[in-house]
Each structure stands twice: as C-alpha cells, then as structure tokens.
Structure 1
Amino acid sequence: MKKPADPLLLENQLCFALYSASLQMTKLYKPLLAKIGLTYPQYLAMMALWEEDGVTVGALGERLFLDSGTLTPLLKRLEAAGLIRRARNEADERQVLIGLTPEGRALKRKAADIPGKAICATGLSLDELADTKRKLEKLRAHLAA
C-alpha cells in the first residue's frame, strides 16, 4: 500500500514550485534586461505601456497586479531614467497619468529580442509554453476569486 504524501514536504508544495520557477525566470531575465537598463518589474511596466500608453497609475497597477505602494517607486525610477512622464489628469486631479517619453518608446526596439531569448531558455515548445501560460492564468484567476 502506498503511503500518503506528506503535505508539509517542500517538494510537494505547488507554491514552492511556482516560487522557485519565478526566481529562475527572473534570474534568466536579469542579464538580458541589464543590457537595456531595466529591472524585471520595470520591464513588465514598460511592456504594459508599450501596449497602451497614457494610462492611469491605477490602471497600470491593475494590469500588473501591483498596488500603488509598490508601483509608485518603480514609476519614479522609470521617470528619473527619462523613460516615462507622470502627470496629473486634468479631467480628474486625483488620477496620475503615465506616458512614455520618446526614449521610452525607443527602448522597445532594444528589448525586441528578449522574449525570444527567454523562450529558448525554457526548453519548452511553443505549445507547451502556451499551455503552461493558460494553466497559470487559470490558477491566478481562481486564487483571486
């Protein structure tokens, strides 16, 4: 008879598998992003802004699953680097709008090869990657509910 798995063994933890995979993914990106002067969280913010420029801090935070306490210092660093501008929304002074500078837009070209390098490093096929991404998004949605 097979002994039941110990629920407190580290190797049996989904949370640890996710955490350690995330650490390895961030480690993979670090040297790639250093070449363009970004940290991983800054890269995520820039990708969101390359998709949709001129969003509010709140909308960007929702998109990245970050609260304003985490996002604001990150945005201040991007602004100091000359990649974004933050400005109060004239229609609603409570909102801060984030806009890319010409330098921020130009950085997209420098970052263009990063996703391909990351995909190659995973050793997974495109179908496996797509399936993994779908499963993680489903997991995130269930955890958020």
Structure 2
Amino acid sequence: ASDCYDDLRSQWWGNPKSLHVDCWGEIRHFDGYDIQIVPRRNNLDNNKLFFINLGGYDRAEFGELHRNVLLVCPDAKTAKARALAEIQHWSQPHKDKAFEVEKAVNVSKTVEARGYSIELVPSPAAIPFDFVCKYLKIG
C-alpha cells in the first residue's frame, strides 16, 4: 500500500491531514473481468470499473447496513441498477455513493503517467479479492 501514498496525496481532494485508508487490496479480477495493466494503448472498450457503496436496512439489525461492490458496466446508471438488485431484500435499499474507480482516485491517470493503460479482459476464472482492513493514516 505504501507504494501508492504519493499518488494518493496528489489526488486527495480533502484536508491533507485527514488522508487515510481503511481497507486496501490489489484488484486483479471483478465482475467477470481480469483487471490488467498493459503498455499504453487506446482502449476501445466502453466498459468501466465502478465502485458503489450501498446502504439499507434490515428489520433484524439495528442501524444502517452497508455493502461495497465493484462492477464492470458501460455507465453509472447501469452500475447503480445492478448494484441495487443485489440488496433488494433490504428495506429501503439506496445508493450512498457511485463512481467510476478512475474518478475517485484517478488510477488511469497514474498508470498512464507511467506509460501503461488499464484493460478489462473478460474472464470466467474468478481470482479471489485479497484485501486488508486497517486504519492507515497517510496525511
């Protein structure tokens, strides 16, 4: 994770002292696509990688529930609809945040500055998402 600190600092939109991460992991496969870093080229695929933070309620649990999902879709409207379909059993399911991963932290810009591109490659072979949850102050 420390390899990304300078890029995160340069793209952080809030108070520099508040910059931190709660969870991190290498995204190698999601939603039927391998995520590959390749030598820079024009990407003709319209699909983008979206992160969506979902909220809702369950009568058996006190407080709001949250689920984070990554989806490959052509646009935010499609991503929102697919994500909300995953939590229809919740009461009042709603979208707290939805954005292309590249717009939150511009991964594409960082990768392109180093002469590479992000490519989404269809693949039926899922790769488990290994992640770490830990408060890590950067700012």
- TM-score scaled by structure 2? 0.30
Higher relative strand content: 2
Higher relative helix content: 1
Give 1 or 2 for the bigger CA radius of gyration: 1
Q: Greater relative contact order: 1 or 2 (C-alpha under 8 angstroms, separation 6 or more)?
A: 2
